[in-house]
Amino acid sequence: MLTATLALVLTQATTPATSAASPPSPPKCEGASHDAFDFWVGEWDVFPRGGDKPVAESRIEKVSAGCAIRETWMPLRGAGGTSLSTYDPKTGGWHQLWVGGTPGRVFFDGGAVDGAMVLTGYWGKDKEGNPSLVRMTYTLEADGSVRQYGQASSDHGRTWADSFDLTYRRKE
């Protein structure tokens, strides 16, 4: 009897404990919604659309276990900046935080629209000092480049005017 009890105690001491109380694994950031902005990931030279002189370099990478996309914007002149973009399964939308080389930050919201990524947020002011709503549309082009087309509105999105138009070309 003593031998059986001792054997039971030793077995319990050397057997790994499995607990039903262990927390479940967190959900993974995978699937079409999480991957909708992956076309932008890479190392890029950035040009004005139709131009041949670069204005910046940009490194876009997946970070935080694939749950976010970080851009490091490195202009050839002026201050750089960083954006962090992520898909929110609770809202079904994408959110981006931009922090540039000057004080302040900008929040953009949006999502995938017909294969493009469209993000909108208030960024700066127009010539009259009104808040400027900026809409950025990122599109994967047939040649593998990415177009970032920006429009601005000073009437909260009722009308839009061209603001910037950039082409990201992959570094060789």
141-164 tens-digit pLDDT: 999 999 999 999 999 999 999 999
- Number of other CB atoms surrounding residue 9 within 10 Å: 10
- Where are the chain's structural domains? 29-170
Per-residue pLDDT band at 12 (split at 50, 70, 90):
low
Q: Which residues contact 146 (CB under 8 A, 6 or more apart)?
A: 39, 40, 44, 138, 139, 140, 167, 168
Question: Domain spanning 29-170: which CATH class is it, in words?
Answer: mainly beta
Give pTM, 2 decimals: 0.83
